[in-house]
Structures are given as structure tokens and as C-alpha cells.
Structure 1
Amino acid sequence: MGVHDAPGWLLPAFSRSVAGAGGTASPEEIRRTGEDLLDRWTQPDRHFHNVKHLVDVLARVDELDEEVHEPDLVRLAAWYHGAVFDSAERKAYANKGGEDEAASATLAREQLTALGVPDARAQRVAALVSALVRHSPDRKDVDCAVLCDADLAMLAAEPQRYKAYLHDVRAEYAHLPLEDYVRARTRILRKLLARPSLFTSPLAQGWEEPARQNVAAELQRLEKELGRLEAASAQADDAAGDEAGGTPSVVDVPQPSTPPRR
């Protein structure tokens, strides 16, 4: 999908949000900035964090907008939250993935200021984007809570859509060896399930149970897959040792793994 394949309402919506935030630039300047953002969101290496995800996050913000104090700023933060993305260069995928919130926040502040958005409001958008690093907003900051919840809303998708989401995420990190990917993903899922709640804003509380069901089921599948991968790797190591003429000692013999406690 390219810029011209994006939904026709996206660029006008961006322009309205910039104007609502106090932007004073010409409509042409605002449109050019919106087109630059869509260029970023429609890069071919984006299989999940693409314009479809942007549309989903904007739609979820609309669902929760009764709680929002500054909806235009939250929508602009949604536009910028994944503007800078590079899955191939992220060595710390286990923690954050390919989204670079710090760089995206800087881009938001620079572009919005250039469009005439008041400094305080441009900085607020940047702060909202930066808050997505941890997805643990202050409950008193409703706008931040809504943005974080909208970004995580895919976790509560119906099973078939969640399955498609998993396929897209794996495609985005296809350069990672399967075992490395599974290990990284399981760490993320365990952190999510360890949270007291996945969603913070009141209207998003209905997403909590389906999200936990999806995450728990995915984690169970990945833990089984990781066990199989580790067993296969151990067998390959043993075979390589035998071919090399080595005799494994007692301590080298793989021991049965203990199933993880539930």
C-alpha cells in the first residue's frame, strides 16, 4: 500500500487535527507533512506497523474520545507514534520492537512546530508519543491512557484477527531466527500478563479479558514451540559432537525439561 492507496479521509483528518491543535501553516504545507507521514507508514518493510495499524489506532481513539481532554493532540500523537520505524536495525527487539518512540517524538515536535502549532502543544504531542515506550501511563493523565490503550487494542481482537496480527508481526521480524524471535516474544507476553491491568482508561476496560485470553493462549503456544526448538537444537549439538568423534560426559547429557508452572 502506498500513499495514494491510503483511505481518502486520512490526509483531511490529519489537516483537521493540525488546525485543531493551533497550526497556522497553509493547507498545502500541512498536506505535504501528512504525505510525508503516510510515506513513512507505508514503507514495504512494515507488515503490521503500517497505515492499517495507524487507522486502527485512530479508530480506537475515536471509540474512547468521550474521555479525552485534547482529542486533536491525541490523534496527532497517534499519527506520530510509529512514524520512525526500522525492524531490521533494532537489536533490542525483546524490549521495544522496531518503533523508535524517542525519534518519533522528536519528529512530531519538529514538524508540528514548523506547521505553526504552539510550542507547548507540540511538546505535549511529543510527550504522549514518548509515553508509549512503557505503555504505563499515569491514570490521572486520561489522554495518555487513551493513546496507550488504543495502541494496545489489537491484543483484544477476535481470534482470527489476532492470528492475522501474529502473522504480520512475525513477517516484520522475518530476519530474526525463529528461536530468537520466539524467545523475545515470550518475554514480551510474560511482561504483559504480569501487569495488574493491560488497559487504563475506563472505556477500555471491556478489552481486558479478551486481551488476556489472546496473550495467554499465544504464550502457551510459544512456550511449547520453544521447547521443541530447544530440543531440536540440543539434538543437533549432540549429532555434531558425535560426528566430531567426541564422547559426551555425564554433565553433557540433556536432562528432561520441567514444564513451566501455570
Structure 2
Amino acid sequence: MGVTDAPQWLTSAFVRSCKGAGATAEPAQIEAVAQDLIERWSQPQRHFHNLRHLTDVLMRVDELAEETHEPELVRLAAWYHGTVFDSAERASYAGRGGEDERASAALARAQLTELGVPHDAVERVAELVTALVRHTANPEDFDCAVLCDADLAMLAAEPQRYRAYLEDVRAEYAHLPIESFVRARIKILRKLSERPRLFLSPLGAAWEEPARQNTAAELHRLEKELRRIESAEDAGSDGTTPSTPAGSPA
């Protein structure tokens, strides 16, 4: 999904959220910012963290909106949460992936301030974006909980869509050697498995069981894949011909 086939409702949705947050700029100026954000989300190196992901997160926020205090600010945070992205190897996948939440928050501050959004609202959007660095929210911060849940909702997708998600993530980090990617992904999945809850909002709790099933199955598969890779390396170091590992953990 690119700029040319972006859903028509996206731009008007951004304008509506900005106006709801108190923006004083003319609609044409707000639309220009929306177009800039759509172009950022449509960059060719994005295979998962792309425009489709943005629309998915926005729709999930809509599903959980009744639990928010300031839904338009949560929607704006969804728009900005992955606007700055770099999947290059120097951006450690196991650490934070390619999303740069702090740089994205800085962009939100600059653009929303220019659109006349009040300072407190701008700072709240930036705070919500930055909270996604660790995907942990204070359970009493309902807006932050909803944003985190909406961003993680793909973990609860039906199995076929979850497999497609894994393929997209692997494509996004295709420059990483298979072993490096598998180890990084295992690290992420183990961290998720240690959490007492993946989803903090009451409505998001319905996604807990399918997400646990998906991530547990993926972790089991990747741990098996890593053992196969390590066995092949051991065989190679002994001077024997190593077996060929699978090309993708997805």
C-alpha cells in the first residue's frame, strides 16, 4: 500500500483529529501535513511498518476509543508513532526495531505546534508516542494503554494473517543474516512471554489468548530453527558439510 492507493478517509481523519485537538491552522495546511505523514508511512523499505499498519492501528484505536479520555490525541499519537523509521542494521532489531519513537515524538511536536495545536495537547501526543519505546503503560493511563494495545493487536491476528505479518517483518529486515534475525526475534518473544499481560485495556483483554497462542507457537518454531542453525554451524566447524537452514523463520 503506497501513497497513490492510500484510503481516501485517511487525510480527512487526520484533519478531524487535529481540529479535535484544537488546531487553528486552515484545513489545507493540515491536509499538507497529512500528505507528508502518508508519504513517510509509504516509504519502500517499509514492509510491515507501513501505511497498512497505520490504518490497522487507527482502526484498533477506534475499537477501544470508548476507554480513552482524549481519543483524538490517541489517534494523533497513532499517526506519529512510527513516522521516523530505519530498518538498517545499526538500528538493533532486538532493541527497538526500526521505529525511532523519540524522533517521531519530536516530529509530532514540530508539526502539531505549527498547526496551532495547544502546547499541552502537543506534549501529550509526544508523551504517548515516546511510551511505545517499551510498550508498557501505567494501567491507570487509559489513553496510553489503548495506544499500546492497538499497536500490539497484530499479535492476536488469525493464523494466516499472523504468518503474513511475520513474512513482512522478515522482509523489512532482510539485510540481517538469518541467525541474527532469529536470535533477535526470540529475544523479543521471550520478553513478551514474561509479561503478566500483553494488553492492558479492558476491551483489549479479548486479544490476550490468541496473541499468547500465536507468539508461543512462533517462539517454539524459532527455537527449533535456531537449534538447526547451530547444529549446522557445529557440523561445518568439524569439517563436514552443513545442512542448509530454512531461509526464513516466518
Larger Rg: 1
Equivalent-residue separation in structure 2 for 1:231 and 1:170 (angstroms)? 22
Tell me, in whole angstroms, the C-alpha distance in 2 between the residues paired with 1:33 and 1:23. Answer: 12
Give me the TM-score of the superposition, normalised by structure 1: 0.90
Matched, 1:119 2:112: no
State the match for 1:29 in structure 2. Answer: 29
Question: 1:219 Cα deviation (Å)?
Answer: 0.1
How many angstroms apart in 2 are the aligned matches of 1:91 and 1:50?
Answer: 17
Which residue is 2:82 aligned to?
82
2:238 is paired with a residue of what secondary structure? helix
Deviation of 1:90 (Å) = 3.7
**Residue 164 of structure 1: how far off its partner (Å):** 0.3
Q: Give 1:83's aligned amino acid.
A: T
State the alpha-carbon separation in 2 of the partners of residues 89 and 79 from structure 1.
Answer: 25
- Rounded to whole Å, the distance in 1 between the matches of 2:167 and 2:178 is 13
TM-score by length of 2: 0.94
Shift of 1:238: 1.9
- SS of 1:163's equivalent in the other structure is helix
What pairs with 1:1-262 in structure 2 (closer than 5 Å)? Answer: 1-239=1-239
State how many pairs are aligned: 241
Q: Distance in 1 between matches of 2:102 and 2:235?
A: 43
The sequence identity of aligned pairs, in percent, is 68
Secondary structure at the aligned position of 1:64 is classed as helix
Measured in 2, the distance between the counterparts of 1:12 and 1:138 equals 31
Deviation for aligned residue 1:89? 4.7
8 Å contact from structure 1 (residues 90, 98) kept in 2: no
Q: How many angstroms apart in 2 are the aligned matches of 1:239 and 1:6?
A: 53
CA distance, structure 2, for counterparts of residue 45 and residue 86 of structure 1: 8
Shift of 1:237: 1.9
Change (3 A) 1:90 1:73: farther
Partner of 1:259: none
Q: Residue 88 of structure 1: SS of its match in structure 2?
A: coil
CA shift for structure 1 position 88: 1.2
Gaps of 5+ in 1: 243-262
Separation in 2, partners of 1:231, 1:89:
25
2:197 alignment partner, SS class? coil
Distance across 1 between alignment mates of 2:77 and 2:89: 23
Structure 1 counterpart of 2:54, which letter? L
Deviations 1:55-100 (A, max 9, x none): 0000000000110110100000000000000101543211110000
Equivalents in 2 of 1:141, 1:228: separation in Å?
43
The amino acid of 2:161's aligned partner reads: R
Compared CA separation, residues 226 and 204, structure 1 to 2 (3 A)? same
Secondary structure in 2 matching 1:106? helix
Which structure 2 residue ranges, 5 or more long, are not aligned?
A: 242-250
1:2 is displaced (CA, Å) by 2.6
Measured in 2, the distance between the counterparts of 1:228 and 1:81 equals 36
Amino acid at match of 1:120: D
